[in-house]
Amino acid sequence: MTGKLKDKVVVITGAARGLGRAAAKACADAGARVFALDILGDEVATLKAPNLTARRMDLTDAADVAETFARIEREAGRIDVLVNNAGIIFFKPIEDTSVEEWDRLQAVNLRGPFLCTRAVAPGMKARRSGAIINVSSRAGQHGGDDESAYCASKFGIEGFSRALAIEFGKYNVSVNSLTPGHPVHTAMSEITYNAEARKIWKEPEEMAPAFVHLATQDASGIHNTYVNAWELSEKLRAEGLA
């Protein structure tokens, strides 16, 4: 994948672990200047590459998000690609879900992508160039037992993505949502997957080609699509493009 993202500036949230970490490494390997963001500052700081900068950022703090993105634009000159990856999950019956738990999950999974996208919108629209990748889930299209909060956030991401695609498409900016499409081994799945899913899970790095490919797109390419990361990555590998 080396060189595919040469001269691109990529920002990835939730980059300390799992899919976000794998995507950050892959984009850096593909030549991008990567800003890896996560509230887990010590963990994200262990990401190392010559063209990668790791920073702590709290997605639930609007001022922190605005300040972090403004600083990146000052340092890098622009942001070409935004990957809204950060997310949290819990499983509880609705009657056992506290208001604080509900609000916290929506703040990370849905309000965070809003804040980050709002921060990159003026620059992408002015340059008429860019790509936004919103990490979604099967839970964005299907309900799950004791998953009302998580499903609400991912169904929200789907609506958010479809509306953004219309808004940003006029400026040649691609917007897509990305579901793993296959059980994937992450810190989140270690607490959510059953034994059968653990037998077949893939490592996050196996999904990374999909992130790189979507980062190369504009509105004339893959756009306004619910993308299966596993299927796209397998296709790219089969074609010798990953």
Residues with a known catalytic role: 150
CA 149 to chain centre: 19
Cα separations (Å) of 60 from 41, 111, 154, 217, 228?
15, 7, 17, 29, 27
Widest CA span of the chain, in angstroms? 51
What percent of the residues of the chain are helix, what percent strand, and what percent coil, each to the nearest 5? 50, 15, 35
Task: Please tell me whether residue 25 adopts helix, strand or coil conformation.
Answer: helix
CB neighbours of 86 closer than 8 A, spacing ≥ 6? 13, 14, 20, 37, 38, 39, 59, 108, 109, 112
Q: Are 242 and 236 in contact (CB under 8 A)?
A: yes
Among residues 87, 131, 136, 91, the alpha carbon closest in space to that of 112 is found at 87
Structure tokens at 192: 């959510």
Q: Are 204 and 119 in contact (CB under 8 A)?
A: no
Question: What is the C-alpha separation between 35 and 50, in angstroms, rounded?
Answer: 12
Query: Amino acid identity, residue 61?
Result: D
